[in-house]
Amino acid sequence: MDVASILKGWSKGQFSPFYWLEGEENYFIDQLSNAAEKTILKPEEAAFNCTVFYGRDTTWAEVVNQCRRYPMFAERQVVILREAQQLRDIEKLEPYFEQPLLSTILIVAYKEKKLDNRKKVARLIKEKGTYISFKKLNEKEIASWVEKRLSANQLKIAPRALMLMVDHLGSDLSRIEQEIEKLQLNCSAGTVIDENVIERFVGVSKDFNVFELQHALALKDFTKAFRIIQYFKQNPKAAPLQLILPLLYSFFSKVYMLFGTENADERSVAAQLGIPPFSIRNYKEAARLYGYQGTEITLLLLHQYNLKSVGVGAPATEDAALLKELIFKMTTN
């Protein structure tokens, strides 16, 4: 079960007595919690029948007592427990999970942790209510999610513009959502979003960005990579080193994985790596130019310079100088 199916069920008046939302992807947990607070009850009902608790500021007994109450002037009440991972003795909710009140809809937002499946409470949650564990999306899944969000507003996005946006914004779906809203506000229905649109409204240069640096390094194009780093030096906020190194490490890790994939079609290989099919050729070209041993050396270099960037084993050095030294070693090994 996913967010869309739950929201569709709520719109039809289909509810579980409680929902346990957990995992690493906070965006979807917040999305459902916010929807429960704003959409399940009518505004005049919510005033008396929607209660929000925060794990750090409440007790398990207060949550249970509220859940045991009957709604006022409405068919049901909604109880939301945000930041549930901070609630002490959360296992003591077990008796309520065993016999929940059907007129109460309890939403438990348990972030960045998971149930201990060895405990009875985990079995009860899965048997009596609705349990969902949200994993972090990989690069391919994020790109697909962006396309769907834009498509819902009759917008399309060109492949390079999509990769530019995803690489620049990373895996923070809340931040990506904010940028999507900007595009929705500024682009009319039917617009095909290209790199110029991304540069204008998302604020990332179409020529000087981490995606272009990654592409230049994949081709061992030292001259282009050097120009991009010069731009980063003059515009420090464009791509901080703490963003660049993890993205490059992720890219070359997937290049390294190519050497262990079966000789299948490009779409199948892309699925194995968790990347969009249209980007697979860039990875394959990097694998050809670097080779197995060269890719290993590159990963070691990225690890070493990540340590240097935080002052381990090296005196304080400006980010641009570290990057120039790194790309020289990468493109000449």
CA distance 321 to 26: 36
What stretch(es) of the chain map to CATH 3.40.50.300? 15-134
CA distance 87 to 58: 7
pLDDT higher for 209 or 252?
252
How does DSSP classify residue 137? P
- Mean pLDDT in residue range 46-67: 95
pLDDT computed for residue 221 by the predictor: 92
pLDDT computed for residue 21 by the predictor: 96
**Could you give the angle at which helices 173-186 and 139-151 cross, rounded to 10 degrees?**
30
Average predicted confidence (pLDDT) for the chain: 90
Report residue 314's pLDDT band, with 50, 70 and 90 as the boundaries: low
Closest CA relative to residue 143, chosen from 270, 287, 286: 270
pLDDT computed for residue 180 by the predictor: 93
Closest CA relative to residue 41, chosen from 52, 30, 28, 53: 52
Q: Is the distance from CB of 212 to CB of 245 less than 8 angstroms? A: no
Candidate CATH numbers 3.40.50.1950, 1.20.272.10, 3.40.50.150, 1.10.4030.10; the one for domain 207-333: 1.20.272.10
pLDDT computed for residue 299 by the predictor: 95
With 80 as the cut, is the pLDDT of residue 262 above it?
A: no
What stretch(es) of the chain map to CATH 1.10.8.60? 137-206
pLDDT computed for residue 261 by the predictor: 80
Report residue 332's pLDDT band, with 50, 70 and 90 as the boundaries: confident
Candidate CATH numbers 3.30.420.40, 1.10.8.60, 3.40.50.2000, 1.20.1250.20; the one for domain 137-206: 1.10.8.60
For residue 294, give Cα distances in angstroms to 83, 180, 252, 298.
Answer: 45, 38, 10, 6
With 70 as the cut, is the pLDDT of residue 316 above it?
A: no
Question: What is the SS3 assignment for 291-327?
Answer: HHHHHHHHHHHHHHHHHHHCCCCCCCCCHHHHHHHHH
Q: Which CATH architecture has domain 15-134?
A: 3-Layer(aba) Sandwich (3.40)
pLDDT computed for residue 172 by the predictor: 85
Q: Is the distance from CB of 168 to CB of 210 less than 8 angstroms? A: yes
Q: Residues near 167 by Cβ (< 8 Å), separated by ≥ 6?
A: 209, 210, 211, 214, 247
Report residue 228's pLDDT band, with 50, 70 and 90 as the boundaries: very high
pLDDT computed for residue 249 by the predictor: 93
For 11-36, how does the pLDDT look when each residue is reduced to its tens digit (9 = 90+)?
Answer: 999 999 999 999 989 999 999 999 99
User: Percent of the chain, pLDDT > 70?
Assistant: 98
For residue 185, give Cα distances in angstroms to 35, 149, 191, 263, 267.
Answer: 22, 13, 12, 44, 34
pLDDT computed for residue 156 by the predictor: 93
Q: Is the distance from CB of 249 to CB of 299 less than 8 angstroms? A: yes
For 117-175, how does the pLDDT look when each residue is reduced to its tens digit (9 = 90+)?
Answer: 888 888 999 999 999 999 988 888 999 999 999 998 899 999 889 988 888 887 889 98
What stretch(es) of the chain map to CATH 1.20.272.10? 207-333
Q: Is the distance from CB of 147 to CB of 159 less than 8 angstroms? A: no
For 268-290, how does the pLDDT look when each residue is reduced to its tens digit (9 = 90+)?
Answer: 888 888 888 888 889 999 999 99
Q: Is the distance from CB of 294 to CB of 333 less than 8 angstroms? A: yes
CA distance 89 to 84: 10
- Could you report how far apart the first and last alpha carbons of the chain are, in Å? 48
CA distance 78 to 49: 6
